[in-house]
Amino acid sequence: MADFLTKKEDNYSQWYNDLVIKADLAENSAVRGCMVIKPYGYAIWEKVQSELDKLFKQTGHVNAYFPLFIPKSFFSKEAAHVEGFAKECAVVTHYRLKNDPDGNGVIVDPDAKLEEELIVRPTSETIIWNTYKNWIQSYRDLPLLINQWANVVRWEMRTRLFLRTTEFLWQEGHTAHATKDEAEEETRKITDLYTHFVQDFMGIPVLRGIKSESEKFAGAVETQAIEALMQDGKSLQAGTSHFLGQNFAKAFDVRFTDKSGKQKYVWSTSWGVSTRLMGALVMAHGDNNGLVLPPNLAPIQVVIIPIYKGDSQLDQLSETAIRIKNELENLGIHVKYDDRDTHKPGFKFAEYELKGVPVRLAIGPRDIENGTVEVARRDTLTKEIVNQEGISLYIKDLLEEIQKSIFSKSLKFRDENIFSVDTWDQFKETLETGGFILAHWDGTAETEEKIKKETKATIRIIPFDSVEEIGKCIYSGEPSKKRVVFARAY
């Protein structure tokens, strides 16, 4: 099956597209720019969703749901917000179709025009803050910690499965607080939570920091982000957390009475990750044989494949395979026993390798005689013969080892591709090889825009842990006090 994949080294972009489709993650739909997430891809997304949801609830957040449609007038209440999303909005203007009297099929009924046009949700700040106005009256109503799992629509001209589609799935948190300090603490708490998830579940190391003024979320006071490096040297924004100050509270007049009886505007945050994390999983770990899934997010952590001739051999093998399957499942491991008689073992080996299943167990008649099983690791493509006795604990430890190994490999790659440069020529030369570039910047939006226009590189983050270092901007030569992280990005 891997023969159908373009090699990463030959054409990384095509390799990615091939892998997403061949591994049954997603495909393009009949609606231009939109995708169909297939069952295996959705199973991975469900794992992402499930684990994140647990983390949100552990930190006191609860789930709710808000409308897909937002009155257009809501967007005019926060100037920076509308400016940031205006070009991406899909607008509903009519509510009925009718047959064309001239015989040209179905047309929009001109008599069914909406009194107020509706925006199809690109993000939910406006509809949520209009709602919060009714929910928040007193300090007793705060903090309000709400998350929503939803779909959003942002009209895209150039689309790519998972990475950039017109409609995509995500979660968006929206919180309200009595004080600035509480809102800022929430913003950082979510950045830390996303970091934990992406590193410890997805096995992808990240850099953390603040977005520049030009790159921050429309309507935010400050945007924090985590950035991951893909194998082609491009950065992918893996999560953002926004400190919104009182911008939306003032726009929608959301005030509360504090303990002293004074009326005050609330402080707020919003934050989210989306199905582009699926693209990150593919690009950060995949190889020329297919996906490499970290065990913590693999829908199938272990697959058991019998190697047999005839039904009598299969019955004998199945008894052993099902016993091992039950032992593993008792330890909380997700196992599939593939005893399909419609496909040969070689096909199944290639199929599960392509789909990135972390561990494959093969059992044949000789294994029954010897009390053994063949264990294959997807991350290293290595195999070994292991005794059946104690196999469940062995596999449990192996999955933990694979999770750590996948992260370590990705971390080594990331660290080997962080470069410090001091001149414009060095910057342009390094950019062609890819990676994160640490360079001085004069802090102006004008310089940032010129660098972006000339090289397609953007400031990904201003790192939290950046130390003061006197230098000169690589582009303008003006004074700079710290380095920022540049990269080309998805």
What is the C-alpha to C-alpha distance for residues 98 and 108, in angstroms, rounded to an integer?
Answer: 6
Buried b (16+ CB within 10 A) or exposed e, 18-34: bbbbbbbbbebeeeebe
Does residue 315 share a domain with residue 242? no
- Main-chain phi, psi angles of 395, to 5 degrees: -65, -40
Q: How many domains does the chain have?
A: 3
- The conformational region for residue 390 under phi > 0 = left, psi -120 to 50 = alpha, else beta, is left
Does residue 219 share a domain with residue 368? no
What is the C-alpha to C-alpha distance for residues 127 and 119, in angstroms, rounded to an integer?
Answer: 10
What pLDDT does residue 157 have? 82
Does residue 133 share a domain with residue 65? yes
Report if residue 476 sits inside a domain: yes
Does residue 315 share a domain with residue 211? no
What is the C-alpha to C-alpha distance for residues 155 and 88, in angstroms, rounded to an integer?
Answer: 5
Does residue 150 share a domain with residue 32? yes
pLDDT by residue (tens digit) across 24-49?
999 999 999 999 999 999 999 999 99
Report if residue 95 sits inside a domain: no
Residue ranges making up the domain that contains 446:
418-487
Does residue 343 share a domain with residue 307? yes
Tell me the three state secondary structure of residue 283. helix
Does residue 53 share a domain with residue 199? yes
What pLDDT does residue 81 have? 83
Tell me the three state secondary structure of residue 235. strand
Structure tokens at 466: 């950046």
pLDDT by residue (tens digit) across 272-328?
999 999 999 999 999 999 999 999 999 999 999 999 988 888 999 999 999 999 999
Write the CATH number for 327: 3.40.50.800
Report if residue 99 sits inside a domain: no
Report if residue 308 sits inside a domain: yes
What pLDDT does residue 3 have? 65
What pLDDT does residue 465 have? 87
Report if residue 135 sits inside a domain: yes
Does residue 266 share a domain with residue 315? no
Does residue 277 share a domain with residue 362? no
Domain end position, chosen among 250, 285, 320: 285
What pLDDT does residue 82 have? 77
Does residue 352 share a domain with residue 244? no
pLDDT tens by residue, the chain, 490 residues: 566 899 999 999 999 999 999 999 999 999 999 999 999 999 999 999 999 999 999 999 999 999 999 999 998 888 788 788 889 999 999 999 999 988 889 999 999 999 999 999 999 999 999 999 999 999 999 999 999 999 999 998 888 999 999 999 999 999 999 999 999 999 999 999 999 999 999 999 999 999 999 999 999 999 999 999 999 999 999 999 999 999 999 999 999 999 999 999 999 999 999 999 999 999 999 999 999 999 999 999 999 999 998 888 899 999 999 999 999 999 999 999 999 999 999 999 999 999 999 999 999 999 999 999 999 999 999 999 999 999 999 999 999 999 999 999 999 999 999 999 999 999 999 999 999 999 999 999 999 999 999 999 999 999 998 889 999 999 999 999 999 999 999 9
Report if residue 82 sits inside a domain: no
Write the CATH number for 137: 3.30.930.10
What pLDDT does residue 2 have? 60
Report if residue 172 sits inside a domain: yes
What pLDDT does residue 1 have? 55
Structure tokens at 435: 């990676």
Report if residue 217 sits inside a domain: yes
Does residue 261 share a domain with residue 367? no
DSSP codes joined into one string, 420-459: E--SHHHHHHHHHH-SEEEEE--S-HHHHHHHHHHH--EE
Does residue 454 share a domain with residue 355? no
